[in-house]
């Protein structure tokens, strides 16, 4: 294996699908929610951020709606 490689002559292409894969956002989640998903992460071996993403994706694909009832 070479110590250095010269990529200056190569015409690289960006992955056209990479933009739509994930987007970084900042969320403020409750400590209880984070602990819940961290517990699941330990059981499954899947990082807790991925578990949260999978759960939210499932909600989005199934059209799940949150029912809120405010106290009057």
Res 18: pLDDT:
75
pLDDT along the chain (72 residues), means of 10: 79 76 91 98 97 96 93 83
pTM for this model (two decimals): 0.67
Domain ranges of the chain: 30-61
Query: Which of 33, 32, 54, 56 is CA-nearest to residue 44?
Result: 54
């Amino acid at each position: 294996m070479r110590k250095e490689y010269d990529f200056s002559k190569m015409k690289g292409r960006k992955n056209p699908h990479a933009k739509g894969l994930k987007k970084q956002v900042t969320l403020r989640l409750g400590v209880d929610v984070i602990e819940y998903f961290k517990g699941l992460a330990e059981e499954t071996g899947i990082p807790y951020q991925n578990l949260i993403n999978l759960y939210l994706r499932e909600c989005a694909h199934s059209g799940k709606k949150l029912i809120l009832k405010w106290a009057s």
